[in-house]
Structure 1
């Protein structure tokens, strides 16, 4: 085998149409290996359906901070970066998940792993891939592309990996380092904070001599999701957000 492709996605946030579009795109490319970095719930009305699809397809998935909150009924803490409008909407949306996610699905979320370390052998080369939701020590740390490089270099060293892949911020990026190492954020499937609001995921192309990360962004039936939110008890704030008609504090 000279090359292997792996798909990694994150932050679906109850957006089933976006997840379906991403999974269909992965299927069309003939990629068999798929991994999810967590945050299956909150902000769109298909949390149970999203969890069900991940379970039915046996896609390995990490425990995102939203998954952990719903699984263990952790109190919601206001975030200083959010406006009063977003803070109020966030409380209502998360409480919607608390009421509607089934006990069986909460149990599933409670058993998800925190990290996942992969090792693939291509020819004579072993590639070590570290999957996290947001960082090695937390699933609720915000690491952006503008972060000091030392933070990412330390993550690569601590995890003893060739590439660290994360989600959580809903903003994709790729950063390359010495010795063909990478830190990549795969973006968000269901609640992108990028201007185009497209569903984002990552393809890792594993070759004998290098890893080539490719961020893929695709459209999905956004208006279907908007209408689904508007017809649910989830605040319309999240519908307007997907249409990029509100300014979210990142």
Structure 2
């Protein structure tokens, strides 16, 4: 039985770094209406975060097909997959092996995972934020608390507190570039996305830094669809 933490993907962290002209807005814990050292109202962080979600959320249901390759401790696994989603509430992920066998069939509905019992012990799924990040969508969990945001030219960084972790989104020109989940003073998981010249998602890479595990997703197509049957969100066995 193959056991690994399966997480989908995404993004090249080549955002313009610490430019001195960057403006930072933050929500300081316990300081409603507080300001940063530069005098910017902490409330200004919320519109920045809301715009990032708006800019990256498709206006119609969407389906993506991709090839996947997992590198773990010197071993490699590969196959094909399909993602179906109606952002920001519903996501269905199916992974198939080289002979078409089902490796995973799982759905995310309003933040809750639905995974068949027979597959639940084989895969540890990514958090909802990383799953949405794999298809280029900024969708922080409902219980994530906005910490701060910074804007420098076309680059935007937004950070949330999620339990004992910090979730960081980086965007450039309105497109998601990476998602980082940090805990214990270092990066625990990351997703990096690569976009082609036509502005379409081309590649997503997930890394579990502690486990030396890398999952690469090569997007073959991403298309708008009219919708999905209701049973799509309830994989057989859930």
User: Which interval holds the TM-score relative to the shorter structure?
Assistant: 0.3 to 0.5
TM normalised by structure 1 equals 0.33
TM-score (norm 2): 0.34
Q: Which has the higher relative contact order, 1 or 2, with Cα contacts under 8 A spaced 6 or more apart?
A: 2
User: Which structure has the highest helix share of the two?
Assistant: 1
